[in-house]
């Protein structure tokens, strides 16, 4: 059995739970990258007082990531995703 076709333009699966309800609103937050493996993309990010392991990472962001940098994290389903490094002047 093959998986049903999902239109790539349809963002509904990214923004809703399995039963079709929207995920609760959460703001984008900054976090601190405390571990990073560029080869495997394994990571640990501290956001507020919580440490997250192996968050999804936006592909173009990979080149700018290193341990102990500040990163922008956006809500993604029921976790966060790393969008990229924040460089504060």
Residue 18 lies in a domain: no
Report DSSP letters for 57-78, one per residue: B-GGGGGG--TT-EEEEEEETT
When computed from its CA atoms, the radius of gyration of the chain, rounded to whole angstroms, is 15
Judged against a pLDDT cut of 90, whether residue 87 lies above it is answered with no
pLDDT at 69: 95
The number of folded domains in the chain is 1
Instruction: Supply the CATH number for residue 43's domain.
Output: 2.40.50.140
Which of these, 73, 68, 75, lies nearest to 83 by C-alpha position? 73
Residue 1 lies in a domain: no
How far is residue 77 CA from its own chain's centroid?
9
pLDDT digits (tens, 9 = 90+) for 6-52: 666 666 666 667 677 777 778 889 999 999 999 999 999 999 999 99
Q: How far apart are CA 34 and CA 8, in angstroms?
A: 33
The mean pLDDT value for 52-80 works out to 90
Q: How far apart are CA 47 and CA 58, in angstroms?
A: 17
Residue 10 lies in a domain: no
């Amino acid at each position: 059995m093959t998986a049903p076709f999902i239109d790539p333009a349809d963002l509904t699966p990214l923004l809703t739970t399995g039963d079709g309800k929207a995920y609760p609103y959460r703001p984008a937050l900054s976090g601190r990258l405390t571990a990073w493996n560029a080869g495997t993309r394994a990571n640990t990010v501290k956001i507020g007082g919580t440490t997250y392991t192996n968050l999804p990472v936006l592909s173009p962001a990979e080149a700018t990531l290193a341990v102990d940098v500040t990163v922008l994290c956006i809500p993604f389903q029921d976790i966060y995703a790393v969008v990229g490094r924040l460089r504060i002047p």
